[in-house]
Structure 1
Amino acid sequence: MSLALKDKKGKVGFHHAFAGIRAVFKSEWNFRFHVSIMVLVLAAGLLFELSQLEWALIIIVIGLVLLTELLNTAIEKMIDYLRPEIHPDARFIKDTAAGAVLVSSIVSVLVGVIIFLPKLLSIF
């Protein structure tokens, strides 16, 4: 019997998923940064009483950023495991995964500006 099958006996299916998220939260500064920004954005959403559509967009882009950060971390760890030495292909893979996080972050900032800037400008 494989280790994967033995490890799943008697455990809830989400156990490993939450363990992975906790591990990334503990080990990755960028993930903690994104979670901190998420908390601020959610608080701002409550303060500005976002519409359902605005909440949906905010939640989607938050999920996109956290998802890409989790995948980037998994890819980086896998490359470090498979190719501990510096190799041009390994660097390309890691840089591309980091680029995905950057793209999702830029999209989330743009969505945030579209939603929050008019609300902020109406205050002043």
Structure 2
Amino acid sequence: MKRFKYPFSGFLRLVTKDSHYVLHLVSAVCVIIVSYFLSINMTEWLFILSAIFLVLLTEALNTAIEEVVDLVTSDFEQHAKYAKDIASFAVLLSSIYAALIGVIILLPRLLKLIGVL
């Protein structure tokens, strides 16, 4: 159990410091519930879960990078800004990937469910 102490501490820091991470978690739970009720197949589950975990992973790394940059300098430094901006861009890319996966897998089923397709 000692090995889980630090990851749980990191998780608690994430959810208390980063409101975006909480939003990603809530979104992930909603997508999982919708996916379950839409009876997606095993391959689709793999894509949905990979997208969810990719977003959660990149958001966690983004927050870690922000913490380290803030530790190193409290003054404005152009390279510190670049580091934060690039990490933020990684989150954006993973979020776009997740949105595309959702559109490809879930949207047709949802449209069919409401009678549009």
Both structures adopt the same fold (TM-score exceeding 0.5): yes
How do residues 1-124 of structure 1 correspond to structure 2 at under 5 angstroms? 12-123=2-113, 124=115
1:21-80 per-residue CA deviation (whole Å, 9 max, x = no partner) reads 111011111000100100110110111011111111111110000000000000001000
Q: Alignment partner of 2:71: what SS? A: helix
Cα RMSD (Å) of the superposition?
Answer: 0.9
Which is bigger in relative contact order (C-alpha 8 A, separation at least 6)?
2
How far off its partner does 1:15 sit?
1.4
How far off its partner does 1:96 sit?
0.4
How far off its partner does 1:121 sit?
1.9
Structure 2: runs of 5 or more not aligned? none
Aligned length: 114
Give me the whole-angstrom Cα distance separating, in 1, the residues matched to 2:83 and 2:90.
11
Q: Which AA in structure 2 matches 1:45?
A: S
Structure 1: runs of 5 or more not aligned? 1-10
Give me the whole-angstrom Cα distance separating, in 1, the residues matched to 2:97 and 2:90.
11
TM-score between the two structures when normalised by the length of structure 1: 0.89
Partner of 1:8: none
In our comparison, the structure showing a higher alpha carbon Rg is 1
Q: Alignment partner of 1:13: what SS? A: helix
Runs of 4+ displaced beyond 3 Å: none
Identical aligned pairs, as a percentage? 37
How far off its partner does 1:122 sit?
1.3
